Structure 1
Amino acid sequence: MANKPEVDYSLYLVTGRDLLPPGKAIQSIQGGVTLVQVREKTADTGEFLEIARQSKVVCRKYNVPIFINDRIDIALAIGADGVHLGQTDMPVSVARALLPPNTIIGVTVNTREHVRKAVADGADYVGMGPVWGTTTKNVLSPLVGPRGVAKMLEELEGTDVKAVAIAGIKSSNTLHLLHGSVSKSGRALDGVAVVSDIVASTDPRAASARISSTVNAFKTRQQPSGHQFSMTNPVTERPHNPETLKELVGETLTFIKKFSPLVHQITNNVVTNQSANATLALGASPIMATSPEEMEDLSKAIGALLVNFGTIKDLDGMLEAGRNANINRKPIVFDPVGVGATSFRRSSANELLNTWQATVIKGNAGELAALANSSEVKARGVDSVGSGFANPAQFVRDLARAERCVVVLTGAIDWVSDGHTVVKLSNGHPLLGDITGSGCMVGTTVATFCGGMSMSAIARLSENTPEDGWLTRGDMLVAAVGGVLAVTVASELAAVREDVKGSGTFLPALIDELGKLTPETLAKYAKLEVVS
């Protein structure tokens, strides 16, 4: 039996006569396309055959494999390297019997069950999607988003079946897709299938090069096992032990005061004023903007973005803010306040997390349990009910791996994880529970520390630094730990002041103590433990 050809799925171009004439096809391959699929849904057999023959000539010139969509007869006639079958097309077993044994066969999948069947049927690769909406194809299947792709990838663990994602993929969202579409145990995509971002471009070579560089950079930074749980960026990578964490948190506070990052906050109207004051106290600059029209410009100037949907308004602004923050690789802190309270909040959270990639997700036990679809902890409005998670360290580690971000679980004990390291934080004072929005303030301080960390990392890089495959720069586990410590340590210092008589005097004292924090104070009072 002849060996099947080695195929690089990194940048998989899906095209046809009406989308990309031969001249542009050559340019797209020169830009980095590694595989071409010819898809002709309206051409008759004679036209399709001629188009396929011309496309093969171009692909052979550049040693790029050519696949045919659906039509086994056309694939046989031109000697194509592979075919791609939809869920309603010819079964894999029949196609395999008709085609030469070295032919690659791919299958479109939309659910985990589809993936399992494709593997059982002997498919060589699967096309997962539709990820997002697209104008180039009438999408009938539900949109899966990067998080849905990640779940489907779990079905490929332990197999040699390759995977690409398709639909709505552009240079502006490729890195988010690659980063967010990784299973909990580390199975990542082998490539992305692109249509309109290349074929509709006036410069397909440049369009292909933009996506190709992103895919290659992401693959380069993956560990040998094919995954990278930690959000730690190599620019600032240092061991995560208690003493080093304290040192790094102190350095980040210094960065905040030095760079005064602009922290964009779309937050609930209950806490806007105190969130702004907390940001100022730490040395950063707050901006509370919600209009979608502002987000493209703002995202270029900010150090970090906080999305807190406590009063669940301005959803369009949240979507645009996060999308543009990802494009500009700015950290995003998501605070899903009361996400378990209503179906609208749950669906909104899902839409947000499939539209952009969060850097940090921060919530109490009830909120994070709802986000993880866990029944271990119940939510009541914005509060949690019950004794908490039996194993909070494992919970935050698992959720961080599933969501591909740092997770902060707040409570009497705070837990922070990047999917690898788990940090237990034991600071805080009961008076925090007696004021409105103390949890929201933690979201603000985490975003502020993320902004300081990001800006310090960017300042160390040359303007000509090539694409590095990271969605944000800087050690965001450290930033999250720093943001939590800022509020909890300040609360302990504020509570013992002589002028604090109760919750009414505690809040302004808390803001005062946030403003007085120093690296030395944080290191002295921080109670943290790295959990193995």
Structure 2
Amino acid sequence: MDPIDFSLYLVTDRGLLPQGKSYLESLEQALLGGVTVVQIREKKTDTAEFLEIALQSKALCDRYKVPLIINDRIDIALAVNARGVHLGQSDMPIDVARKLLPKGFLIGISCNTLDEVRRARESQADYVGLASVWDTQTKKLTNVPIGVRGLGVMLEALDGSEVRAVAIGGIKSTNLIRLMHGSVSATNHGLDGVAVVSDIVASHDPKGAAQMLKSIFIACKKSTLSFDGEPRLSREEIIDKAVTIMDGVRSLNPLVHQMTNVVVSNQSANITLAVGASPIMATAPEEMADLAELSDSLLVNIGTLRADSMQGMLKGGYSANAGRKPVVLDPVGVGASEFRKASVKELLDIWQPTVIKGNAGELAALAGSIEVAAKGVDSTGGFKDPVSFVRQLARKERCIVALTGETDYISDGKRVLLLKNGDPLLGKITGSGCMLGSCISSYCAAANTLANEDHREGKLTRGGDFLSATVGAVLTLTIASEFAATREDVHGIGTFLPALIDEVAALQPETIVRLAKVEEAADS
């Protein structure tokens, strides 16, 4: 039989239909919108009614050449000649179901744990439903949601097999970008599809909802965010690209939305102006969608995190994701409390960062490592192998990671660059790391805009070069600090800060090229 396109897998639930919308009307509109597989789920329906619904659904799906799968009920699946059956962990074992079903009949199974995925592979399931990614109102959960980052390990267990993988649980158009980019194994094994319930079934416009989901899925599959296949720039090319982005910040004057801590908001705004961008500081969740349209990037800094600021950060991040705007996460002091750790986990389960920057203590806490401890917002040591650490974290989180310190380590998951500029005074002023977050956000905004302009002009680019942007931002601040520290009017940290801002504004691209101390670590 022809292979199945699992990309947009609709799971029905008649209880979610909006008033005035019939089941078959909603289903047909969803099919018109691009649904590629339909699973009929009827948990509380008697056999006769289930059979009738399945027959009507099969006739409609056949008209649009979309395969129909029946949830749980092998008898119903056989009766309507469905394409397959989807089983739960407490349903009939796959090997027994195989004996009852004709050759070519698909069997899928829900998997909530890594062990269940391994057993599904051993049992030769055709596909697995990985659940539940997020909390969902359509099904009572018996397991804690696995989150986007939990999917990567499950997908890795399918490497080398023909078992297809579909994610399910709380998936909507607003979080699909995060899901698609983040749910990839270390070997670049991604999802074959996404299963959606309420975002389509509960919609007054199922066709439009399906079209939106399908377009995001396709765009993400074609996305240049994959770590494999990127053009490998030399050290010199990266520095040249970094200063091109530096010029871009000054010419484009991007608007950088910053949700930052109150301790450093003034210097964060001033450093943003110094690099050539414009800052806007706002935290109200009610305006996040509007600001995502207006701004060119988002910085989320949790330095003075409060429970009432989380909603703004959550909505801000996924609004920026939806608008294809870069998001920089600065997990300030994340290891200081369980509240901060839980909050950052929640943020990273909802939206995809473009860059994560932090010191050794912060990134160790984020990665769940005990190798480096933190004291408040400060780090109390360093990694034995920072190169491997930063590379692995970038690969795990599917983004650029900048580990700051005496030497700065920047990785895209493949390569690691070591930057050795900077004066010791930079680490002694309050908010230097936060100001770096503002610089990175500004440079990523320009990199993204420049890439979009190249696309409009028909140039073949692979999206915003956020590795070079991060390198450029770090070099700008650290090289400027070297000039600021040697000024005659600087006598300590009190006079160093304003001098630093002045030197950032005065720094020229050719100076960065001349003074940049950038090395590349050997490949692992």
After TM superposition, the score normalised by the length of structure 1 is 0.92
Q: Over the residues paired in the alignment, what is the CA RMSD in angstroms? A: 2.1
Structure 1 residues 375-524: aligned runs within 5 Å: 375-386=370-381, 388-462=382-456, 473-524=463-514
Gaps of 5+ in 1: 233-237
Whether 1:526 and 2:521 are equivalent positions in the alignment is no
1:272 CA displacement: 1.0
Secondary structure in 1 aligned to 2:157? helix
Shift of 1:352: 0.4
Looking at structure 1, the residues matched to 505 and 222 of structure 2 have their Cα atoms a distance apart, in angstroms, of 41
Contact map agreement 1:231 1:406 (CA 8 A) in 2: no
| 2:186 match: secondary structure | coil
Residue pair 1:397, 1:421 contacting (<8 A) in 2 also: yes
Maintained 8 Å contact 1:333/1:360: yes
**Given the alignment, which residue of 50, 53, 56 partners 2:55?**
53
CA contact (8 A) 1:133 1:167 kept: yes
1:288 to 281, 285, 293: 281
Residue 189 (structure 2) aligns with: 187
Separation in 2 of the partners of 1:261 and 1:217?
25
Q: Per-residue deviation at 1:231?
A: 10
Measure how far apart 1:342 and its partner are. Answer: 1.4
Show the counterpart of 1:235: none
1-side partners of 2:187 and 2:241: how far apart? 28
- SS, match of residue 361 in structure 1: strand
CA distance in 1, matches of 2:324, 2:147: 19
Residues 72-100 of structure 1 show CA distances to partners (whole Å, capped at 9, x for unaligned) of 11112112211111222222233223222
Contact map agreement 2:455 2:461 (CA 8 A) in 1: no
More off after superposition, 90-99 vs 299-308: 90-99
Gaps of 5+ in 2: none
Counterparts of 2:290 and 2:115 in 1: how far apart (Å)? 42
Give the C-alpha shift of residue 36 in structure 1: 0.9
- Cα displacement (A) at 1:461: 4.1
Using the TM superposition, name which of 269-278 and 136-145 deviates more.
Answer: 136-145
Count of residue correspondences = 514
Instruction: Choose from 262, 268, 274 the match for 1:275.
Output: 268
Distance 1:230 1:344, change over 3 A: farther
- Note if contact 2:247-2:509 (Cα within 8 Å) is conserved in structure 1: yes
**Counterpart AA for 1:495:** A
* Residues 32 and 209 in structure 1, CA contact (< 8 A), matched pair in contact too: yes
Q: Deviations over 1:116-158 (max 9, x none)?
A: 2222222211111222233333334322221122222121122
Change (3 A) 1:296 1:415: same
- Distance in 2 separating the partners of 1:242 and 1:432: 25
Question: Does the Cα contact within 8 Å between 1:215 and 1:469 map onto a contact in 2?
Answer: no
| Partner in structure 1 of residue 45 of structure 2 | 43
State the AA in 2 paired with 1:49: L
TM-score scaled by length of structure 2: 0.93
Secondary structure, counterpart of 1:340 in structure 2: helix
For residue 400 of structure 1, report the CA deviation from its aligned partner. Answer: 0.7
Q: Which residue of 2 aligns with 1:306?
A: 299
Query: Which stretch has the larger CA shift, 174-183 or 373-382?
Result: 373-382
Q: Distance in 1 between matches of 2:249 and 2:234?
A: 22
Equivalence for 1:331: 326
Match of 1:246 among 222, 239, 250: 239
Letter in 1 for 2:217: V
Could you say if the C-alpha distance between residues 324 and 503 of structure 1 is closer, same or farther in structure 2, counting changes exceeding 3 Å? same
Q: Which residue of 2 aligns with 1:104?
A: 106
2-side partners of 1:310 and 1:210: how far apart? 35
Q: SS state of the match for residue 365, structure 2?
A: helix
Sequence identity of aligned pairs in percent? 55
Counterpart-to-counterpart distance in 2, 1:369 and 1:296 = 32
Residue aligning to 1:356: 351
2:5 to 8, 11, 22: 8
Q: 1:5 Cα deviation (Å)? A: 5.1
Comparing both chains, which one has the higher relative contact order based on Cα–Cα distances under 8 Å and sequence gaps of 6 or more? Answer: 1
Alpha carbons 1:231, 1:418 under 8 Å: kept: no
1:46 & 1:417 partners in 2: Cα distance?
58
Cα distance in 1, alignment partners of residues 378 and 163 from structure 2 = 44
Q: What is the Cα deviation at residue 213 of structure 1?
A: 2.2
Q: State the AA in 1 paired with 2:90.
A: T
SS in 2 for 1:163: strand
Deviating 4+ runs (over 6 angstroms): none
AA aligned to 2:347 is L
Tell me the amino acid that sits aligned with residue 70 of structure 2: I
Cα distance, 1:121–1:101 mapped onto 2, change above 3 Å = same
Kept in 1, the 8 Å contact 2:361–2:374? The answer is yes
Distance 2:209 2:440 in 1: 36
Decide which moves more: 93-102 or 173-182. Answer: 93-102
- What is the CA distance between 1:221 and its match in structure 2? 4.4
8 Å CA contact 2:9, 2:193 repeated in 1:
yes
